Amino acid sequence: DNLTALHRLHKHRSEAVRMRQVAIDVFHFHLASQANMYAALSWTVANLLTQSGRHLEGVMTEMAEAASTFGPEYRSSMEALDSMLRLEAVIQESLRLAQQSITLRKVLRPVEMEYEGGTLQLPPGMYIATLLSVTNQCNRHVPNHPPLSEFVPERYAPSSKKSGGLVLDPDIYPEATRVHL
């Protein structure tokens, strides 16, 4: 697992220094993942509010059904969350269209980075944030019908929870290609 790998990575250090460095590395991983999570949540909310009202209405109905079925703790019940397939499809489609991956990177050796205004000297130990596109709009992987530039949560089949990956809805895509984002 990642924690064991971090301990191995710093095994040459004294125990106190190793424990501190592992904690720092875990903290940095946590910060990076939070940045991605907040972006994903923001895109999902933005799409629910700006796309066809039927998506928001469908998610609200699904949440009311989950509350009725699972009680007041439905927001923290994995079974209840797993039952909200419309919400999952909206989240997945939001991620497919707009998610960017923000990654913290530690400079390991001196680096010169050119930009429009000149050149930056990045010393070892400095952290920089990089923005990597992870959008899934390539029709080599996902057929372009409906158009990949359009927000269509229905492109995902309700069985996606059990598949180990997203499955394109066979009613929209007869070939039901498996897609891993």
Per-residue pLDDT reduced to its tens digit, 50-63: 998 889 999 999 99
Rounded average pLDDT over 125-139: 68
User: Residue 147: what are its φ and ψ, rounded to 5°?
Assistant: -50, 135
Half-sphere exposure of 61 (CA within 13 A, CB side): 8
Sign of CA dihedral 79, 83, 89, 94: negative
Which burial class, exposed, middle or buried, applies to 171 when counting CB atoms under 10 A from its CB (0-12, 13-18, 19+)? exposed
Q: Residue 66 pLDDT more than 90?
A: yes
How many helices (H) and strands (E) in the chain?
Answer: 5, 6
Residue 106 to residue 121: CA distance in whole angstroms: 14
Residue 24 to residue 125: CA distance in whole angstroms: 13
Supply the Cα-derived Rg of the chain in whole angstroms: 21
Structure confidence at residue 176 (pLDDT): 41
pLDDT digits (tens, 9 = 90+) for 99-115: 666 666 788 888 888 87
What average pLDDT is seen over the chain?
Answer: 78
One-letter amino acid at 86 equals: R
Structure confidence at residue 20 (pLDDT): 93
Residue 79 to residue 70: CA distance in whole angstroms: 8
Residue 1 to residue 129: CA distance in whole angstroms: 25
pLDDT digits (tens, 9 = 90+) for 135-164: 566 666 566 677 888 888 888 765 544 444
3-state secondary structure of 82: helix
DSSP annotation of 165: S
